[in-house]
Amino acid sequence: MAGQLGGPVRLVVWNANMGVHGKLPTLVDRLCPDVLVLCECAHPSVLASKYPGSPPWTSIEWVGRVPDAPRKPDKGLAVLTFGDYTISCRTGVEPMLEWVVITEISGPVDFTLVGVWAMNHRASNIKTFPESNPQPAAVLDAYGHALPGPIVVAGDFNHNVYFSRQSRPDYGHIKTLAAAERSGLASAYHCISSEAQGDESLPTLYWKGAGKGTYHVDYAFIPQAWIPRLREVTLGTKQDWIDSGLSDHVPLLVDVADDA
């Protein structure tokens, strides 16, 4: 049952590196998410048609490009709920913010989830929307004040303070951290680990391309008021998720207890 290993809400963030229909059963079985931010996911109709058995999610919202037939729908970003949780409302965003999904999550713990698969420099429309670099900062600055709280921002941000140090101090993840602070949010992983941004001991991405290396680029920013309610924040192991061939990212798991 979703969330049975933690408190009333278990949030999981994972970039599945495509092929979600064959990988999601493993994630659901191992991690029992209540709410899942899933990057590189096919359109829901494609995912459901290929899924082995009855789809386990209670609701799903997705954003991405859907090419003209007969081409297959391209990968995108999905927010899925399970068990007692469901998506009650979706808020539209500026199309230049590829890819962002804002959903209101209803369940034992109600909150607004901003799901992000940040393209930063690479999205097709990015240069015509200057505030979109980086996208997590842009969406918080553009919409954070109007969203019903509490707000959680989670996904593959595709950046880290380390990258900012290599260019200039006001760039990339530094801007996201500033926007998160203005919105009263903090990184769940860093709250639990007490590690500084940019000095993470555990990576989330095991990059296999040019300049291959390991990086911490997947995050869940939660309300500062939730910090005392954090029960566990863990990352999947390299053996289980990378060496097995499931993805080049490990999942991030965040357990938050109720406020009782």
The region of weakest confidence among 50-59, 70-79, 83-92, 128-137 is 128-137
**How many domains, the chain?**
1
Could you read off the pLDDT of 229-253 as tens digits, one per residue? 999 999 999 999 999 999 999 999 9
| 140 found inside a domain | no
Q: Which residues contact 127 (CB under 8 A, 6 or more apart)?
A: none
Average pLDDT, the chain: 87
Q: Calculate mean pLDDT across residues 172-198.
A: 94
| 132 found inside a domain | no
| 195 found inside a domain | yes
- pLDDT above 90 for 216: yes
| 141 found inside a domain | no
Structural domain containing residue 197: 9-83+154-256
| 221 found inside a domain | yes
Instruction: Yes or no: say if 155 and 37 are a contact pair by the CB < 8 Å rule.
Output: yes
CATH number at residue 58: 3.60.10.10
- pLDDT above 90 for 172: no
- pLDDT of 131 reads 53
DSSP-derived secondary structure letter, 122:
-
pLDDT band at residue 149 using 50, 70 and 90 as cut-offs = confident
- pLDDT above 90 for 227: yes
- pLDDT of 1 reads 36
pTM for this model (two decimals): 0.91
| 202 found inside a domain | yes
- pLDDT of 71 reads 60
Instruction: Yes or no: say if 78 and 15 are a contact pair by the CB < 8 Å rule.
Output: no
- pLDDT of 8 reads 84
| 102 found inside a domain | no
By C-alpha distance, which of 253, 167, 250, 248 is closest to 206?
248
- pLDDT of 241 reads 97
By C-alpha distance, which of 82, 27, 90 is closest to 55?
82
Q: What percent of the chain has pLDDT over 70?
A: 84
Q: Calculate mean pLDDT across residues 198-203.
A: 94
| 113 found inside a domain | no
- pLDDT of 126 reads 54
What is d(CA 198, CA 252) in angstroms, rounded to the nearest whole number?
17
